[in-house]
């Protein structure tokens, strides 16, 4: 009589890919998660997951250099561009490659846009930022991304990317918008994983206030008007009410929810201490995210979940 079903089809696996390493690297803040070099090691990891039924990946790049304008994010032979090409050549049409589109991993300041100054006060230059975001998105589509996932929360970024893609023959490339992204402490382990912590300031001027829920509807509506194909709420476990609200309001749009790094690492820490049974905790939380209304779940637990689902509970 279970009302909620979960299959490997619902899962999206986040993968960290780092330039300049030859072996996978452990991430201190995220036990069990590795950064992969864009070579055979990456292929092997993706292949293992593919065989478990996980065919959707979201890729994050850690480049070999950073500057003020995120140049390494839109190079033809950048780490993500090379990885997308390699994955597409290897797995073909059956794999769904989602490219996280942001500047924080590629800039020396670590912000999700271009930083400018008024006197000695810095600000994020929204309109300059979206030009760069459109450029990054196009280079990702050219390299083989099936879906572009803008995660910067800049105003107008979805529209700018849609136009850039359409103008260059990528009408079929989808946009999965991080529409409802909270300024959350639960991204901290990711920022170590992707070396993307802001060098100064925080992301509160562009990400949402955790105290707000109806604002999520405004953000989602704008993204839909600008051309988003899939919406996202992030984090997931902490914002189940928001997932439900967005799904009920925009029920004709596929909704993704991101079970983020801090939500992952909290479980890992409790399990390590013997306080929680990992499988039961992860299954309950993931089912809850699905029950709340998510069609797609981005989760670092995707590899284990695929096995647990197959075994049955
Ligand atoms: C931005 C981005 C972040 C995450 C996904 N995309 C970091 C941020 O906004 O600071 C966080 C994901 C996670 O915590 O697992 N490129």
Q: What pLDDT digit, counting tens, does each position of 28-48 carry?
A: 999 999 999 999 999 999 999
ipTM value: 0.97
At 76 the three-state DSSP class reads coil
Give the per-residue pLDDT at 290. 98
Six-digit token string for 89: 């050549």
| CA 190 to ligand 1 center in whole angstroms | 6
Residues acting as catalytic residues: 181, 234
Q: Which helix (H) or strand (E) holds 257?
A: strand 255-259
What digits encode the pLDDT tens for the residues 70-87? 999 999 999 999 999 999
CB atoms within 10 A of CB 172: 9
* Contact (CB, 8 A) for 17 and 61: yes
- Locate the ligand 1 atom nearest the alpha carbon of residue 264 and give its number: 15
Q: Which helix (H) or strand (E) holds 240?
A: helix 240-249
Six-digit token string for 313: 């509970």
Confidence of residue 228 (pLDDT cuts 50, 70, 90): very high
Mean pLDDT on 232-245: 98
How far from 88 is each of 150, 180, 252, CA to CA, in Å?
Answer: 20, 29, 29
Q: Which residues contact 173 (CB under 8 A, 6 or more apart)?
A: 141, 145, 146, 147, 148, 165
| CA 1 to ligand 1 center in whole angstroms | 36
Give, using CA atoms, the residue closest to atom 6 of ligand 1: 151
Six-digit token string for 149: 């996932």
Confidence of residue 313 (pLDDT cuts 50, 70, 90): low
CA dist., res. 160 & res. 226, Å (int): 8
By C-alpha distance, which of 300, 227, 282 is closest to 6? Answer: 282
What are the φ and ψ backbone dihedral angles of 233, each rounded to 5 degrees? Answer: -115, 135
232 lines ligand 1 (CB under 6 A): no
Mean pLDDT on 117-124: 91
Domains of the chain and CATH, by start: 8-311 (3.20.20.70)
- Locate the ligand 1 atom nearest the alpha carbon of residue 262 and give its number: 14
């Amino acid at each position: 009589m279970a009302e909620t079903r979960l299959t490997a089809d619902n899962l999206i696996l986040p993968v960290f890919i780092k330039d300049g390493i030859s072996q996978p690297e452990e991430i201190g803040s995220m036990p069990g998660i590795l950064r992969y070099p864009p070579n055979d090691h990456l292929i092997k990891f993706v292949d293992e997951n593919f065989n478990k039924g996980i065919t959707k990946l979201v890729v994050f790049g850690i480049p070999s250099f950073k500057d003020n304008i995120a140049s390494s994010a839109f190079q033809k032979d950048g780490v993500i561009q090379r990885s997308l090409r390699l994955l597409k050549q290897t797995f073909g049409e059956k794999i769904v490659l989602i490219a996280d589109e942001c500047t924080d991993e590629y800039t020396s300041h670590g912000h999700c846009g271009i930083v400018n100054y008024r006197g000695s006060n810095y600000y994020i230059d929204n309109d300059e930022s979206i030009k760069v975001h459109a450029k990054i998105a196009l280079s990702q589509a050219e390299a083989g991304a099936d879906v572009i996932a803008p995660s910067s929360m800049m105003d107008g970024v979805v529209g700018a990317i849609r136009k850039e893609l359409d103008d260059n023959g990528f009408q079929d490339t989808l946009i999965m918008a991080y529409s409802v992204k909270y300024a959350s402490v639960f991204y901290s382990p990711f920022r170590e994983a992707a070396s993307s912590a802001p060098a100064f300031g925080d992301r509160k001027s562009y990400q949402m206030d955790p105290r707000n829920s109806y604002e999520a509807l405004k953000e989602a509506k704008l993204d839909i008007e600008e051309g988003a194909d899939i919406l996202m709420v992030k984090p997931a476990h902490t914002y189940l009410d928001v997932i439900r609200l967005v799904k009920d309001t925009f029920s004709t749009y596929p909704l993704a929810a991101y079970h983020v790094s801090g939500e992952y690492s909290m479980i890992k820490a409790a399990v390590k201490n013997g306080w929680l049974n990992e499988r039961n905790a992860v299954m309950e939380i993931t089912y809850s995210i699905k029950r709340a209304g998510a069609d797609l779940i981005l989760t670092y637990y995707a590899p284990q979940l695929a096995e647990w689902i197959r075994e049955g509970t």
